[in-house]
A and B are shown apart, each in its own frame.
Chain A
Amino acid sequence: MGQVYKIAVVGSGPAGLSAAVHAAKLGLPHVLLEKTDHLSDTIYKYQRGKYVMATPDVLVLRSDTSFQAGTREEILGVWDNECEFHQTNVQLNADVQKITGEKGNFTIQTAAGDTILAEHVILAIGTQGNPNTMRCPGGDMPFIQYQLDDPKEYFDENIVVVGGGDAGIENALGLADDPGQGNNVTLLQRSDGFPRSKPANVALLESAKAQGKLDFLTGTTPVKVEPGVLTVETPDGQADLPVDRIIARLGSAPPRKFVESIGIEFGGPDRDALPVLSEVFESSVPGVFVVGALAGYPLIKHCTNQGYDVVEFINGNTELKPADEPILRDIFDGLPGEYEVSDWLEILRNKVDIFKDVSVLQLREFMLESTMHYKKKGEVVFERNALGDSLFAVVGGTVNVEINPADTSIVVPLGDGEIFGEIGLISGRRRGATIRAGAPSILVEMPARAAKKLIATTPAVKRAVDDIATERQIKQIFGNDISPEWIDRLKATAELLQLKAGETIIQEGDVSTDVFIIRSGSVIVEKNIGGKEIFLSYVAAGAFIGEMALFEEGKRTATVRTTIKSEVIKLPGDIFSAMMDERPMIRKRIEETIAARREVNSFIESQKSGFGSVVDLYSSVANFLLEEGLGEATDALLIDESLCVGCDNCEVACAETHLGISRLDREAGKTYANIHVPTSCRHCEHPHCMGDCPPDAIRRAPDGEVFINETCIGCGNCQRNCPYGVIQMDRVPPKKPGLLQWLLFGAGPGPGQADKAWVNKVATEAEKTGMKVAVKCDMCKGIKGGPACVRACPTGAAIRVSPEQYLNVAQRKGSV
Chain B
Amino acid sequence: MARTKPNRKTHRDDAQHVSFLRHRNFRYLKLAMLISIVAIIAYFFVDPTPRHNGGTWYGYTLGTIGAGLIVWLTLLGIRKRAITQGAWSLKAWTSAHVYLGLSLLVIATLHTGFQFGWNVHTLAYTLMMIVIISGAFGIYFYSNVPRMMSENRADNTQQEMIAELNAIDAQLEDAARPLSAQYVSEVQRAINDTKITGGLFTRLSGRVNKCASMRALSRLRAVTEGSTTSVDEAGEDLGSVISILDRKSVMLNRVRRHIRYKTLLELWLYVHVPFTIFLLGALTAHILSVFFYW
By the criterion CB–CB under 8 Å, are B16 and A806 in contact?
A: yes
Q: Is the CB of B7 within 8 A of A794?
A: no
**CB closest chain-A residue, reference B172:** A212
B47-81: CB near A (< 8 Å → 1, else 0) gives 00000000000000000000000000000001011
> Could you tell me the distance in whole angstroms from the C-beta of A26 to the nearest C-beta in chain B?
55
Q: Which residues of A783-816 are within 8 A (CB) of B?
A: 783-788, 790-797, 799-802, 804-806, 808-810, 813, 815
Known: A649-B80, A674-B147. A779 touches B88 (CB 8 A): no
Q: Known contacts being A645-B145, A645-B146, A646-B262, is A796 close to B83, with CB within 8 Å?
A: no
B89 contacts which of A640, A751, A791 (Cβ < 8 Å)? A791
* Partner-binding segment picked from B101-109, B159-167, B192-200: B159-167
B1 within 8 A of A: yes
B150 in contact with A671 (CB, 8 Å):
yes
Instruction: Specify which chain A residues have a CB less than 8 angstroms from the CB of B5 in the assembled complex.
Output: 635, 800-802, 805
Q: Are A641 and B142 touching (Cβ within 8 A)?
A: no
| Given contact pairs A640-B17, A704-B6, A799-B16, A784 touches B87 in the complex (Cβ within 8 A) | yes
In contact, B142 and A645 (Cβ under 8 angstroms): yes
Taken together as a complex, chains A and B put the C-alpha atoms of A703 and B7 apart, in Å, by 7
Please, how many angstroms separate the alpha-carbon atoms of A669 and B154 in the complex? 10
Q: Are B7 and A788 in contact (CB under 8 A)?
A: no
CA distance A429 to B146 in the complex (A): 36
Interfacial chain A residues near B20, Cβ < 8 Å: 643, 794-796
Q: Given that A705-B6, A739-B82 are contacting pairs, would A646 and B163 also be in contact in the complex, using a CB cutoff of 8 Å? A: no
When each residue 187-221 of chain A gets 1 if its CB lies under 8 Å from chain B and 0 otherwise, what string results? 00000000000000000000100111100000000
Bound Cα distance from A805 to B16, whole angstroms: 9
Whole-angstrom distance between the Cβ of B173 and the nearest chain A Cβ: 10
CA distance A212 to B163 in the complex (A): 11
Question: When the two chains form their complex, are residues A809 and B90 in contact, meaning their CB atoms are under 8 A apart?
Answer: no
Interface size counted on chain A using CB atoms at 8 A: 73
Are the C-beta atoms of B4 and A385 separated by less than 8 Å?
A: yes
B90 touches A793 (CB 8 A): yes
Interface residue count on the B side (C-beta < 8 Å) = 53
Cβ contact within 8 Å between A784 and B86:
yes
Tell whether, in the assembled complex, residue B90 and residue A642 are in contact, meaning their CB atoms are under 8 Å apart: no
> Which residues of chain B are near A787, meaning CB under 8 Å?
7-8
**Set of chain A residues within 8 Å of B82, measured between Cβ atoms:** 739
CB-defined contacts of B85 to chain A, threshold 8 Å: 783-785
**Are B15 and A809 in touch, CB under 8 angstroms?**
yes
For the A-B complex, the count of residue pairs with Cβ-Cβ distances under 8 Å equals 161
Q: Interface-forming stretch among A286-294, A466-474, A650-658? A: A650-658
B6–A779 contact, CB under 8 A?
A: yes
B3 proximal to A (CB < 8 A): yes
Q: Does A670 contact B (CB under 8 A)?
A: yes
Whole-angstrom CA separation of A808 from B1 in the bound complex: 11
In whole angstroms, what is the CA distance A300 to B93 when docked?
52
Q: Is B31 close to A, CB under 8 A?
A: no
State which of B19, B150, B168 has its C-beta within 8 Å of the C-beta of A795: B19
Taking CB atoms, residues of chain B closer than 8 Å to A108 are: none
The contact string, 1 if C-beta is below 8 Å from chain A, for chain B 24-65, is 000000000000000000000000000000000000000000
| Residue in chain A with minimal CB distance to B141 | A645
- Chain A proximity of B7: nearest CB distance (Å): 5
Q: Which of B18, B83, B171 has the most CB of A within 10 A?
A: B83
Given contacts A646-B262, A783-B85, contact A796 B17 (CB under 8 A): yes
Kindly state the separation between the CA atoms of A543 and B3 in the bound complex, as whole angstroms: 12
Q: Hey, which chain B residues are within 8 Å of A213, CB to CB? A: 167
B11 to chain A minimum Cβ distance, whole angstroms, is 11
Among B91, B147, B158, B168, contact of A642 (Cβ-Cβ < 8 Å): B147
Q: A797–B21 Cα gap in the complex (Å)?
A: 12
Q: Is the CB of B155 within 8 A of A646?
A: no
Which one of B1, B150, B167 lies within 8 Å of A540 (CB-CB)?
B1
Q: In the complex, A543 Cα to B90 Cα: how many Å?
A: 37
Say whether A781 faces chain B, with CB atoms less than 8 Å apart. Answer: yes
Determine whether the beta carbon of B90 is less than 8 Å from that of A649: yes
Contact at A641–B83, with CB atoms within 8 Å?
Answer: no
In contact, A795 and B1 (Cβ under 8 angstroms)? no
- B224 at the A/B interface (Cβ < 8 Å)? no
A223 to chain B, nearest CB (A): 29
Name the contact of B146 in the complex, choosing from A211, A646, A703, A809 (C-beta under 8 A): A646
A414 to chain B, nearest CB (A): 25
- 19 cross-chain CB contacts under 8 A: A179-B170, A387-B6, A543-B1, A641-B147, A642-B146, A644-B150, A646-B146, A652-B81, A670-B155, A671-B150, A739-B78, A792-B80, A794-B80, A795-B20, A799-B15, A799-B17, A801-B5, A813-B16, A815-B16
Which B residues contact A (CB, under 8 angstroms)? 1-9, 12, 14-20, 23, 78, 80-83, 85-91, 93-94, 142, 145-147, 149-150, 154-155, 157-160, 163-164, 166-168, 170-171, 262, 265
> Beyond A542-B1, A804-B2: 5 further Cβ-contacts under 8 Å?
A652-B81, A667-B158, A676-B150, A804-B1, A806-B16
Top 9 A-B residue pairs of the complex, sorted by shortest distance between their CB atoms: A211-B167, A786-B8, A703-B6, A641-B150, A640-B17, A656-B83, A784-B85, A667-B157, A805-B15
